[in-house]
Amino acid sequence: MRVLVVGNGAREDALSWKIAQSPSVETLFATPGNAGTASRATNWNIPVTDGKTILERAQAENVDLVVLGPEVAIAAGVGDRLRDAGIAVFGPNRSGGRLESSKVFAKRFMERHGVPTARAAIVHSLASANKALDEWTGDGVVVKADGLAAGKGVVVCDTVDEARDVVKNWYTNNKIPGGGTDVLLEERLSGREVSVFALADGRAMVPMAAACDYKRAGDGDTGPNTGGMGAYSPPYDFPIDMYDQVRERILAPVLRGLLAEGETYIGVLYCGLMWTEDGPYVIEFNVRFGDPETQVLMPRINGDFAGLLKSCADGAMDLTLATLSTQSCVGVVLATNDYPRSNTPLRGLNPDVSLPEGAQAFWGGSALVDGSVETGGGRVLTVTALGETIADARSAAYDAVKSLAKRLDTSELSYRTDIGAVR
Ligand code: AMP
Ligand code: GLY
Asked whether 312 and 197 are in contact (CB, 8 A), the reply is no
The model's pLDDT over 286-308, given as tens digits with 9 standing for 90+, comes to 999 999 999 999 999 999 999 99
Quote the pLDDT of residue 393.
Answer: 98
Q: What is the 3-state secondary structure (H, E, C) of 62-117?
A: CCCEEEECCHHHHHCCHHHHHHHCCCEEECCCHHHHHHHHCHHHHHHHHHHHCCCE
The whole-chain average pLDDT of the chain stands at 95
Quote the pLDDT of residue 130.
Answer: 93
Torsion of CA 203, 204, 209, 215, to 10 degrees: 60
Residue with the bigger pLDDT between 276 and 150: it is 276
Q: How many C-beta neighbours within 10 Å does residue 253 have?
A: 17
- Compute CA distances 246 → 192, 254, 293, 326, whole Å: 14, 11, 18, 20
Choose among 361, 359, 418: nearest CA to 393: 359
Choose among 270, 340, 268: nearest CA to 309: 268
- Strand intervals (E) in 172-307: 183-187, 192-201, 205-213, 216-218, 222-225, 230-233, 266-276, 279-286, 301-303
pLDDT at 423 over 70: no
CA distance 31 to 16: 11
- Compute CA distances 10 → 84, 115, 306, whole Å: 29, 31, 18
pLDDT at 178 over 90: no
What is the Cβ-side half-sphere exposure of residue 61, based on CA atoms within 13 angstroms?
22
Quote the pLDDT of residue 361.
Answer: 98
Question: What Rg do the C-alpha atoms of the chain give, in angstroms?
Answer: 21
Q: What b/e string do you get for 158-179 counting C-beta neighbours within 10 Å, with b at 16 or more? A: eebeebbebbeebbeeeebbbe
Handedness of CA 218, 13, 66, 198 (dihedral sign): negative
Who's near 117: CB < 8 A, 6+ residues apart? 107, 110, 111, 281, 282, 283
Choose among 268, 213, 205: nearest CA to 235: 213
Smallest-distance ligand from the CA of 69: 2
Q: How confident is the model at residue 48 (pLDDT cuts 50, 70, 90)?
A: very high
Strands 42-43 and 120-123, bridge-based pairing: unpaired
The model's pLDDT over 321-343, given as tens digits with 9 standing for 90+, comes to 999 999 999 999 999 999 998 88
Position in ligand 1 atom list of the atom nearest CA 281: 19
Q: Which domains does the chain have, with CATH numbers?
A: 2-93 (3.40.50.20), 119-187 (3.30.1490.20), 192-324 (3.30.470.20), 328-414 (3.90.600.10)
* Residue whose CB lies within 8 A of the most ligand 2 atoms, among 286, 287, 288, for a mutation test: 286
Beta bridge partners of 31: 6
Quote the pLDDT of residue 142.
Answer: 94
Asked whether 109 and 99 are in contact (CB, 8 A), the reply is yes
CA distance 318 to 116: 29
The model's pLDDT over 204-239, given as tens digits with 9 standing for 90+, comes to 999 999 999 999 999 999 998 899 999 999 999 999
Quote the pLDDT of residue 99.
Answer: 97
Q: In this structure, which amino acid lies at residue 340?
A: P
The model's pLDDT over 361-406, given as tens digits with 9 standing for 90+, comes to 999 999 999 999 999 889 999 999 999 999 999 999 999 999 998 8
% of the chain residues with pLDDT over 70: 100
Quote the pLDDT of residue 261.
Answer: 97
Most confident of 28-42, 141-155, 161-175: 28-42
CB of 293 closer than 6 angstroms to any ligand 2 atom = yes
SS3 content of the chain, % helix, strand, coil (to 5): 30, 30, 35
The model's pLDDT over 50-93, given as tens digits with 9 standing for 90+, comes to 999 999 999 999 999 999 999 999 999 999 999 999 999 999 99
In a 10 Å sphere around its CB, with 0-12 CB exposed, 13-18 middle and 19+ buried, how is residue 287 labelled? buried
Position in ligand 2 atom list of the atom nearest CA 289: 4
Smallest-distance ligand from the CA of 281: 1
Quote the pLDDT of residue 149.
Answer: 78
* Residue whose CB lies within 8 A of the most ligand 2 atoms, among 225, 293, 296, 362, for a mutation test: 293
- The least confident of 121-125, 256-260, 306-310 is 121-125
CA distance 323 to 268: 16
Position in ligand 1 atom list of the atom nearest CA 153: 2
Task: Calculate mean pLDDT across residues 167-190.
Answer: 90
Query: Any residues with Cβ below 6 Å from ligand 1, and which?
Result: 118, 142, 154, 156, 186, 188-189, 193, 215, 272, 274, 283-284
Residues in the chain: 423
The model's pLDDT over 195-204, given as tens digits with 9 standing for 90+, comes to 999 999 999 9
